[in-house]
A = this chain, B = another copy of it.
Amino acid sequence: MDLNPEGVKANGRGDRETGTLGKLVALLDRVALADGPMRFTDILSLSDQPRGTLHRQLSHLVEEGLLEVDRDGRYLIGLRLLTLASRSWARNEFRAVAEPHLQRLHDVTCETVHLGVLHDAEVIYLDKVEGRQSVRMYSQIGNASPAYCTGVGKAALSALDDAELAIRIAALEFRPYTQQTLRNAGELLSDISEIRQRGYAFDIEEHESGICCVAAPIRSDDGHMLAGVSVTGPAYRVTPQSLQAWAPLVVAAADSIMMDMRNRMGPKR
């Protein structure tokens, strides 16, 4: 516990699980990540805590509404989180500023438009505009994906300076989601160098087979927040040519969002 070289783990976030809160949030994460309600024993086998401790921790989370217990005594994520999150989303200034631009981009391209922000080495999708598909409508919002295999993520990474970039890449663990997924830091760096030259990024089935996109970076004026916009579509409908054609539009949208943010926040600092 003196000099811990553990650093940052592979997901790009430092899951120190330190402190009471850290442990509880990690637990919350674990239950959230499961794809269904979990029985006490399931959670017990995943976490390396004694039964008594785990039980009390779960009870506390349930008491606060962060977890819920179904009629079979299984644990699942509680709705209280949805309430908290909806407020975080509704009051997010950046999202609000970007919204009309995303809408416009969608009107022109008729494909799905995403807005995502970079968090360590992950992209969190903040907003999405898509057509009348009715199903899975909200699915993407709030979703966190590795930055290295998404258009928005790579675009955002490209806006970092080399030092910062190196730090974040060092924390990565490259997992091959598809045939096209970048496989190591070298491939990522070379792609990022291209992205910097062009000003926009492509994702050709790197994260999900059959899905490709073109994305542009958004820098906040103080350089502290990085984000990206993308236009995404199915490979059978979206050709490299159309992606290429959309690129300037995406870049323009990203720039407009930057300008609007600057004007909104400008007077300060």
Mark A residues whose CB is within 8 Å of B.
Answer: 13, 16, 19-22, 24-25, 28-29, 32-33, 35-36, 60-61, 63-66, 71-72, 76-92, 99, 103, 117, 119, 124, 126, 129, 134-135, 138-139, 141-144, 222, 224, 268-269
Contact = CB atoms under 8 A, between A and B. Distances in A.
A84 B28 contact: yes
A87 B141 CA distance: 10
A117 B22 contact: no
Contacts of A25: 64, 66
Contacts of A32: 84, 87-88
Contact of A83 (B92, B134, B139, B144): B144
Nearest to A91: B35
A82 B21 contact: no
Contacts of A80: 119
A80 B32 CA distance: 12
A21 B88 contact: no
A47 to B, nearest CB: 16
B126 A79 contact: yes
- Majority secondary structure, A binding face: mixed
A89 B86 CA distance: 11
Task: Tell me how many chains of this kind the complex includes.
Answer: 2
A28 B124 CA distance: 20
The 6 closest A-B pairs by CB, nearest first: A86-B142, A77-B88, A85-B85, A82-B142, A81-B85, A32-B87
Nearest to A68: B88
B141 A71 contact: no
Contacts of A119: 65, 79-80
A91 B76 contact: yes
Given A84-B142, A85-B142, 15 more contacts: A13-B65, A21-B63, A21-B64, A22-B60, A71-B222, A72-B268, A79-B124, A79-B142, A80-B119, A81-B88, A82-B126, A85-B85, A86-B141, A86-B142, A129-B134
